[in-house]
Amino acid sequence: MLFSQIGYYSLFFGLFFSFSLFPIIYKDLKINNNIVSKNIFINVLLQLIFVFNSFVCLIISFVKSDFSNETVYNNSHTTKPLFYKISGAWGNHEGSLLLCLLVLILFIFIFLNISKNQPKKYQIFTLIFQQIIIIGFFLFLLATSNPFNYLFPNPKEGLGLNPILQDPILAIHPPILYLGYIGSSIIFSSSLSAIIQNYVNDVWAKNLKKWVITSWFFLTIGIMLGSIWAYYELGWGGFWFWDPVENISLMPWLCLTALMHSIVVLSKRSILASWTLVLSIGSFILSMCGTFLVRSGILNSVHTFANDPERGIFILFFLFILILVALFIFFVLYKPQKEEKNFFLLSKETSVLINNWFMMYFLSVILIGTIYPIFLEVINNEKISVGPPFYNKLLIPFLVPFFILMSIGPHMQWIKSSFKRINKNLIFLFILSTIFSFLIYNEIKSSGLFTTILIIGVSYLFLVTLRDLFTKNNINLSQRVSHFGFSFLILSIILNGIFSTEITQNMKVGENYKFNNTTIYFEKVSFFEKENYKSVVGTFKIIDNNMKMYLKPELRVFNQPEIITSEADIKVNFFKDNFLVMNIVKGDEFYNVRYQTKPMMLWIWISTIILASGGLINFFVKKKYEK
């Protein structure tokens, strides 16, 4: 009760500091020096402290199970373990928005602190744009989704957190994803500021690159955590379903990836400035669109958030203003500087452009696939869904040229390159990958020509990036690590797709089922009472190609709220996961049993970490060879 009040009024103080900032900025802009006034720092710091305080108050309310707070009442329960009480604070709509707001302020605070060598006006205008976004979030929070609503009479018990969200990975997944989404807000604000200040140049690009990489890093890890969760919790045995919510996180990722490449060109060669600006504005708009589509309930997916049309309209309005402002600044105020004229077809610049084309193509496929159903429903009330076949058909064929170009591209030189650089080594690797593809072809026998070509392409890329990784010099280490991680990821995904097997059967206790070389024995079920759920554990003996193992999938019957979740049992091996999940269908006689073998799963996660860590390396390795 007390903490809810403190948290609520802290928010108002936070908002107050947004407005009090503007007179200070106005005064500071008049002073003709190159140092941002101390008062501005203090103001932003105070704002940060108040919002942080508000967030801590929300967490305390959750920990103390203060059900006079509506958010706590809706999402918590006294019997919930402490860990999930804490993570429950940001596992819901109101709390997650508060967290977003906190991250927005934290990032601008960090930005002000590390950009002191940048022009003063550029810093200040970035702050202004960021504050506009912050005020938008404040108003949104206070007007439509206040986390501190008071309930009277005070309920004795809360409604509980959706059990499917009671999971350690899902506790950290949202904050990390938000760091990625919100990180792009800095890119957005500083791009607009750079346009106004006529500061779109190589120095700016170098400074902004850090933010692009930070945002990209968190987004990558965030998406990966979401996938891991979907893999073991949803029990579908996959890690990517082309679900609208997943697509929405992938779109800014693709945009940021493209931006990360084009910004290098801008920082090294001072070209592609306009394109880089489009990408930086696009990344943030895509992140915001994602929030809009998810929060408004327009998209319907596995993630069920509480939906409220009013919220949707607010975000739509806010988004509309942001896009309008961005377009106005970009088209009216932007004065492109003269770019260098010598641009040769065979150069690193071209290869980056090609990368960007691919990214934009992938992005537009996903964008259309995600929003087309919405348009169709609005226009003629037909309801459709766009599933994996659509994406597979449109994305996979383009992967082959993408792989080939990605293995050649990084070897190009700036300005002008020649084909001489493609040496015998690369041809040798190509032959090696053909052999590899042949071996796989032998293994699966019934495979189309296209699969073979795809495998040749990806294994070639894999070998080339692997070779590059062990090049002795220190140039572009982070790029080489990331490229290696990416090729490894794609290789794992493709092998996983080709070699996955699945058996689904309805079984009674004591039965066994044989299919090809696999026999499943359903030995017994046991029942346990746990802290806030009843647990039903099945014991299965699996003999898979003479390998014997026991798998114990679990069903959790929660009573607050009343819901059943199934926990798959996964035997993680070096090259193959064995995945078993069971479900009650009706009564307790038959269980629906699903056994899958999923090769390379472990490597999908590891390679994603390698991919992301490439970005981190960029911060730590001193680039000796840079001028």
Partner 1 sequence: MYGKKVKLRILFISLLLITLILSVFLILKSLEENVVYFFSPTEIKNFSEIKNEKIRIGGMVKNDSITINSNKISFVITDFKNEINVIYSGSVPNLFEEKKGVVAEGFLKDRNFLIASKILAKHDENYMPPEVKEALEVE
Positions touching partner 1 (CB under 8 A) are: 162, 164, 234-236, 300, 302, 304, 341, 343, 345, 357, 361, 364-365, 368-369, 372-373, 382-387, 389-390, 393-394, 504-507, 511, 513, 561-566, 581, 583, 585-586, 589-590, 592, 594
- Least distance to partner 1, CB of residue 384, Å: 4
| CB nearer partner 1, residue 469 or residue 563 | 563
- Least distance to partner 1, CB of residue 539, Å: 19
H or E element that contains 114: helix 93-114
| Residues in contact with 63: Cβ distance below 8 Å, sequence separation at least 6, in sequence order | 82, 85, 86
List, in sequence order, every residue forming a beta bridge with 527; answer none if it has no partner: 536
Helix, strand, or coil here: 343? coil
Q: What is the crossing angle of helices 449-469 and 388-408, to 10°?
A: 40
Q: Which amino acid is at 55?
A: F
| CB nearer partner 1, residue 48 or residue 251 | 251
- Least distance to partner 1, CB of residue 212, Å: 23
CA distance 161 to 187: 34
Q: Is residue 525 within 8 Å of 538, Cβ to Cβ?
A: yes
| CB nearer partner 1, residue 340 or residue 626 | 340
Helix, strand, or coil here: 535? strand
Phi-psi region of 90 (alpha: psi -120 to 50; beta: other; left: phi over 0): alpha
CA distance 435 to 389: 29
- Least distance to partner 1, CB of residue 566, Å: 5
- Least distance to partner 1, CB of residue 489, Å: 24
CA distance 332 to 359: 27
CA atoms within 13 A on the CB side of 271: 14
- Least distance to partner 1, CB of residue 445, Å: 25
| CB nearer partner 1, residue 49 or residue 159 | 159
Q: Which of 368, 375, 374 is nearest to 390 (CA)?
A: 368
Alpha helices (runs of H) in 526-595, residue ranges in sequence order: none
Helix, strand, or coil here: 515? strand
- Least distance to partner 1, CB of residue 217, Å: 29
| CB nearer partner 1, residue 366 or residue 440 | 366
Cα angle vertex 503, ends 500, 508, to 5°? 155
| CB nearer partner 1, residue 156 or residue 383 | 383
- Least distance to partner 1, CB of residue 161, Å: 12
| CB nearer partner 1, residue 23 or residue 561 | 561
| CB nearer partner 1, residue 383 or residue 622 | 383
Q: Is residue 533 within 8 Å of 561, Cβ to Cβ?
A: no
